[in-house]
């Protein structure tokens, strides 16, 4: 990282997280900065890895993937070969949208999007066929109270 970000950089990041389709002109107007200065800052934020990509957010329910599932995994395997096999398996399933290695009692938590419980069961069957797992449980989301991709960028106190 080449520099520490300032308040203007944080405003840029906040604005682009809300709407990545903003043109440089629109963005510079929103944060009260000249077009060229704004463009240079965005470029620097990209080059230094603060901005890692720009995406379109998609409504999973409209695509028939209305069931969000958290899959809790405990395993008795912790060797490098098993881990490589596990990583290969979980990244190969498009339904799995997040994979987290955890501290404490849980080994892994996976987040998945599927159409229904039957689709989850098919995912589960494919997963256990690819990699041995000691204990797998799933929790189905009943209501999404908050779901965001926004990283808080406000200034620290």
Reported as a single tens digit per residue, the pLDDT across 4-52 is 899 999 999 999 999 999 999 999 999 999 999 999 999 999 999 999 9
Delimiting residues of CATH 1.10.10.10 domain(s) in the chain: 7-47
Confidence of residue 135 (pLDDT cuts 50, 70, 90): very high
What is the reported pLDDT for 1? 46
Delimiting residues of CATH 3.30.70.920 domain(s) in the chain: 61-140
The C-alpha torsion from 137 through 143 and 145 to 146, rounded to 10°, is: 60
Confidence of residue 155 (pLDDT cuts 50, 70, 90): low
DSSP state of 152: P
DSSP string, 94-136: TTEEEEEE-STT-SEEEEEEESSHHHHHHHHHHHHHHS--SEE
How confident is the model over 53-78, as a mean pLDDT? 95
pLDDT digits (tens, 9 = 90+) for 86-133: 999 999 999 999 999 999 999 999 999 999 999 999 999 999 999 999
Contacts of 17 (CB under 8 A, 6+ apart): 149, 150, 151, 153
**Alpha-carbon distance 22 to 28, whole Å?**
9
Contacts of 109 (CB under 8 A, 6+ apart): 70, 71, 72, 73, 98, 99, 100, 102
CATH 1.10.490.10 matches 7-47: no
Architecture of domain 61-140: 2-Layer Sandwich (3.30)
Q: Are 4 and 156 in contact (CB under 8 A)?
A: no
């Amino acid at each position: 990282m080449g520099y520490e970000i300032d308040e203007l950089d944080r405003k840029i990041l906040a604005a682009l997280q809300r709407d990545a389709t903003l043109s440089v002109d629109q963005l510079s107007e929103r944060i009260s900065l000249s077009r060229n200065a704004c463009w240079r800052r965005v470029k620097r934020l990209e080059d230094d890895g603060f901005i890692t990509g720009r995406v379109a957010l998609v409504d999973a329910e409209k695509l028939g993937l209305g069931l969000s599932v958290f899959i809790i995994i405990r395993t008795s395997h912790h060797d490098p070969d098993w881990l490589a096999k596990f990583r290969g398996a979980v990244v190969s399933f498009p339904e799995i949208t997040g994979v987290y290695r955890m501290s404490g009692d849980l080994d892994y938590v996976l987040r998945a999007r599927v159409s229904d419980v039957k689709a989850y069961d098919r995912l589960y069957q494919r997963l256990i066929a690819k990699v041995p797992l000691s204990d797998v449980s799933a929790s189905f989301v009943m209501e999404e109270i908050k779901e965001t991709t926004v990283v808080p960028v406000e200034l620290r106190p």
